[in-house]
């Protein structure tokens, strides 16, 4: 099989295994945490009934009531009638939690209630976090050519120098990411989430895609929200693709910094591209290439499987 075909087949396998891993985590978290959550809900109902049946409420009873209510609310269980109609540990919610766990976003709502759930979360994250980084890296490597190398090549063929071409491309890519993964999603969130403003949506997108995850804004958390399962799946896809594009943006910036000598000036490691060895060298105009480099390129055998790189963009 052609190496490119094998590469895409491997990436497809990674993505499928990533989805299976999320489903596995969702099933385990749901089976562990949902019974504990149901018990906590029943305790809250009994506590509420007991509180309401008292003819007069003492300060001690009120304090005990409030302490238990606040403690339950920390785990996503509310004493309010209109907030107890959904479980935080059904399959879709558990998968959403697993997704925020392995992407290190971690909104903190909900959180594991039981000791078994906390232990499983540790083990699950130990495997899931590096695997998620592996899948993201593999995806970014596949889209580097169509979204970075090819556009820079087009800009260079239009007459721009390599340094100018990479700078213009980075600005265009930054604009596209801001519009597609911050502005547009923020507008959607402000429409779907009734209590969110457009600024809240921008804030949520930034906090999420930077993996800060403060948890003060959590999507799909309104009582009686329509199409909640579909909404949660859409947010999971958004988080994954958004993190992928943020990583691509950082890679593109690092490449540009290499070309402009910024990494050398700051004594930082150069950006390495695992596609080909020659991608580790600085982009330079073919007319300015050293004789040693030209001899090296001339002596290198042709490889029909090779892809355009930052070194070969300006030669097109």
Q: Report the pLDDT value the prediction gives residue 271, as an integer from 0 to 100.
A: 67
Do 88 and 98 meet the contact criterion of CB atoms below 8 Å apart? Answer: no
Question: What are phi and psi for residue 90, nearest 5 degrees?
Answer: -75, 180
> 297-308, pLDDT tens digit by residue?
444 444 444 444
Higher pLDDT, 84 or 91: 91
Residue 272's pLDDT band, with cuts at 50, 70 and 90, is: low
Query: Residue for token digits 């970075």?
Result: 148
Express as a percent the part of the chain with pLDDT over 90.
49
Q: Report the pLDDT value the prediction gives residue 305, as an integer from 0 to 100.
A: 45
Distance CA 63, CA 75 (A): 19
pLDDT mean over 291-315 = 46
- What average pLDDT does the chain have? 82
Q: Report the pLDDT value the prediction gives residue 110, as an integer from 0 to 100.
A: 82
- Indicate if the pLDDT at residue 279 is higher than 70: no
Q: Report the pLDDT value the prediction gives residue 102, as an integer from 0 to 100.
A: 96
Query: Residue for token digits 């993201």?
Result: 136
Residue 160's pLDDT band, with cuts at 50, 70 and 90, is: very high
CA-angle at 265, arms to 249 and 269, nearest 5°: 55
Q: Report the pLDDT value the prediction gives residue 123, as an integer from 0 to 100.
A: 97
Q: Report which of 235, 237, 233, 243 is spatially closest to residue 26, judged by C-alpha positions.
A: 233
In terms of phi and psi (left: phi > 0; alpha: psi -120 to 50; beta: otherwise), the region of 162 is alpha
- Indicate if the pLDDT at residue 293 is higher than 80: no
Q: Report the pLDDT value the prediction gives residue 206, as an integer from 0 to 100.
A: 97
Express as a percent the part of the chain with pLDDT over 70.
80
Neighbours of 196 (CB within 10 A): 18
Q: Report the pLDDT value the prediction gives residue 74, as an integer from 0 to 100.
A: 67
Q: Report the pLDDT value the prediction gives residue 47, as an integer from 0 to 100.
A: 81
pLDDT mean over 97-114 = 90
Distance CA 208, CA 202 (A): 10
> 237-260, pLDDT tens digit by residue?
999 999 999 999 999 998 888 888
> 13-63, pLDDT tens digit by residue?
989 999 999 999 999 999 998 999 888 888 888 887 787 777 677 767 777
- The model's pTM is 0.73
| Range with lowest mean pLDDT among 92-101, 129-138, 271-280 | 271-280
What dotted CATH number matches 3-315? 1.10.287.70
- Indicate if the pLDDT at residue 126 is higher than 80: yes
Question: What are phi and psi for residue 305, nearest 5 degrees?
Answer: -90, -5
Residue spans of alpha helices (H) in 145-261? 150-157, 162-178, 184-192, 198-209, 228-259
> 174-232, pLDDT tens digit by residue?
999 999 999 999 999 999 998 999 999 999 999 999 999 888 899 988 777 888 899 99
């Amino acid at each position: 099989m052609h190496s490119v075909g094998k590469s895409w087949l491997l990436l497809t396998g990674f993505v499928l295994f990533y989805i299976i891993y999320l489903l596995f985590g969702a099933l385990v978290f749901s089976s562990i945490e949902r019974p504990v959550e149901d018990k906590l809900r029943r305790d809250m109902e009994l506590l509420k009934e007991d509180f309401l049946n008292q003819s007069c409420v003492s300060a001690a009873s009120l304090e005990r009531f409030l302490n238990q209510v606040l403690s339950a609310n920390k785990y996503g269980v509310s004493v309010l009638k209109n907030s107890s109609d959904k479980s935080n540990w059904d399959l879709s919610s558990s998968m959403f939690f697993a997704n925020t766990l392995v992407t290190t976003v971690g909104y903190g709502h909900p959180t594991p209630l039981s000791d078994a759930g906390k232990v499983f979360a540790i083990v699950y994250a130990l495997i899931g976090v590096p695997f998620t980084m592996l899948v993201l890296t593999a995806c970014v490597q596949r889209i580097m050519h169509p979204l970075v190398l090819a556009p820079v090549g087009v800009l260079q063929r239009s007459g721009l120098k390599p340094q100018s071409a990479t700078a213009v491309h980075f600005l265009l890519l930054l604009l596209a990411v801001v519009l597609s993964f911050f502005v547009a999603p923020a507008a959607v969130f402000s429409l779907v989430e009734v209590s969110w403003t457009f600024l809240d949506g921008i804030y949520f997108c930034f906090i999420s895609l930077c993996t800060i995850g403060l948890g003060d804004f959590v999507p799909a958390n309104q009582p009686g929200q329509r199409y909640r399962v579909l909404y949660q799946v859409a947010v999971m896809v958004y988080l994954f693709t958004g993190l992928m594009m943020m990583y691509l943006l950082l890679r593109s910036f690092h490449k540009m910094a290499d070309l402009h000598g910024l990494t050398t000036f700051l004594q930082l490691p150069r950006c390495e591209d695992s596609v080909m060895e020659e991608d580790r060298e600085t982009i330079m105009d073919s007319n300015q290439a050293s004789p040693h480099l030209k001899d090296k390129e001339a002596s290198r055998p042709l490889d029909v499987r090779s892809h355009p790189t930052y070194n070969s963009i300006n030669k097109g």
